[in-house]
Amino acid sequence: MSPTADRTTEERPPWLLKPPVHLAIIMDGNGRWAKKRLLPRVAGHRQGAQAVRKTVSACRAWGVRYLTLYAFSWENWKRSRPEVDALMALLEDYLDGEESLMKEKAIRFRTIGNRSRLPLSVLKRIEAVEESTRAGEAMDLILALSYSGREEILAAVRRFGEDVRAGRVPPDRLSEEDFDRYLDTAGTPPPDLLIRTSGEHRISNFLLWQIAYTELYFDPVLWPDFGEENLKRALMDYQERQRRFGAEGDIHSGDHGREAEKV
C-alpha cells in the first residue's frame, strides 16, 4: 500500500465533528507515575512511550493532521546521565518499532529543536526515519527534542540577521508571516489545541511564538495513564469553545487567527 493511498483510512468517531488541525501535547508526569509505584524513573518513561503509541494511533484515525509532542526539552539535559541515556535509548527503540507503521499509515515523522547534543546514533536514526517517512501525507508526527521555545526564537532572529547582513532581505519589512519562516516549525500551522498532563498549569518554554491563539487544556492524569478517553474529553471540550482570535463572531478551528484580520 502506498503512503498516499492510506490517507482515506480515517475512523473519525461521530462525536468528533471538527478535530483540531494541529494538536500539541506536553507529556508530563512519567517520573511521578514511577515514583507512586516505587519504580525507577525509566519505568515511567517506558510506560509513557506506550501512551505515545496510543495517542498517535488515535490522532491518525481521528483526522488530526499535525501532532507535536514535547518529548525532551533543552532543560532536560540537566537530568542525571543514566536517565538521559535511558531516554535516548527509548527514543531509538520507539523509532525502530514504529517506523514501519508510520510508513503504512502515511505518517511523516520529523523533529524540531537543537540536535547538536543528541547522540550520533540517535541523530542517524532520526534522519533515517525522517527520510523513509517523507512521503507520508496523512499526518505529520513532530517530536520536540532538545527543544526550547526561547532558543528557537533567538535562533530565528539570528537567521534573519544573517539574511539582512547578506542583503537577502530588508531589515525594516519583517512581518509575522516572514518570521514564521525562520522558525523550526516553518510550514506548519500553529496549534489549535495544546494539552498538558499531570495537573501542572504552565507552558514550560514550549512553542512560545506559535501558541499565541492556541486553546489550552490541562488534564490532571499523569502521562503514562493518558489514553483515548482522556484525548476524547480534551477534544470534546475543544469543540465547545468559540475561537475568535481577538475578533468578534465565531471563527472556527483551522483559521489560525488569519480570519481575524479580515473582520
Q: Which residues of the chain fall short of a pLDDT of 50?
A: 1-8, 253, 257-263
Instruction: Note if 93 is an active site residue.
Output: no
- Strands 139-147, 193-196: pairing kind: unpaired
Pick from 118, 112, 83, 84: nearest CA to 205? 112
Instruction: Note if 205 is an active site residue.
Output: no
- What pLDDT score does 168 carry? 94
CA distances to 16, 25, 149, 193 from 21, rounded to whole Å, are: 12, 13, 21, 9
With 0-12 / 13-18 / 19 or more C-beta atoms within 10 angstroms meaning exposed / middle / buried, residue 155 is middle
- What pLDDT score does 261 carry? 36
- What pLDDT score does 5 carry? 42
For residue 42, which phi and psi values (nearest 5 degrees)? Answer: -60, -30
For residue 142, which phi and psi values (nearest 5 degrees)? Answer: -115, 120
- What pLDDT score does 173 carry? 84
Q: What is 20-150+191-241's CATH superfamily?
A: Decaprenyl diphosphate synthase-like (3.40.1180.10)
**Grid cell of 56 as nine digits:** 498517535
For the residues of the chain, what is the DSSP string, one character each? --TGGGGG-----TT-SS--SEEEEE---HHHHHHHTT--HHHHHHHHHHHHHHHHHHHHHHT-SEEEEEEEEGGGGGS-HHHHHHHHHHHHHHHHHHHHHHHHTTEEEEEES-GGGS-HHHHHHHHHHHHHTTT--SEEEEEEEEE-HHHHHHHHHHHHHHHHHTTSS-TT---HHHHHTTSTTTTSPPPSEEEE-TT-----SSSTTTTTT-EEEE--S-GGG--HHHHHHHHHHHHT--B-TTSSS-B-TT-TTTGGGG-
pLDDT digits (tens, 9 = 90+) for 192-202: 999 999 999 99
Residues in the chain: 263
- What pLDDT score does 247 carry? 62
Among 28, 184, 219, 255, the one annotated catalytic? 28
Edge to edge, the sheet with strand 139-147 lists 107-112, 139-147, 66-73, 22-26, 193-196, 215-218
pLDDT digits (tens, 9 = 90+) for 38-82: 999 999 999 999 999 999 999 999 999 999 999 999 999 999 999
Contacts of residues 164-171 at CB distance under 8 Å and 24 or more positions apart, as own/partner, are none
For the chain, which residues make up each domain, given as ranges?
20-150+191-241
Cell numbers 518529548 label which residue?
71
CA distances to 85, 125, 163, 193, 234 from 25, rounded to whole Å, are: 23, 23, 33, 8, 11
Among 6, 30, 76, 163, the one annotated catalytic? 76
